[in-house]
Amino acid sequence: MEMEQTDSLWLNSLLHFFVLMVSVYLFIELNYYLRFNQCLNRPYI
């Protein structure tokens, strides 16, 4: 029972970590994309 609980806790923390990493990654990607887009669109404006 105790082993199962620790395993579940470990999976839970891993999941939280994964979600955090994905959020940070998406945020950075979006930031770069917007900056790149601005640089591309500047001459046309």
Structure tokens at 42: 């500047």
Residue-wise pLDDT tens digits, 1-45? 566 788 899 999 999 999 999 999 999 999 999 988 887 766 654
Chain CA centroid to CA 26, Å: 5
**Is the pTM for the entire model greater than 0.75?**
no
- CA atoms of 26 and 34, how far apart (whole Å): 12
- CA atoms of 21 and 5, how far apart (whole Å): 24
- CA atoms of 45 and 28, how far apart (whole Å): 25
Decide: helix, strand or coil at residue 5. helix
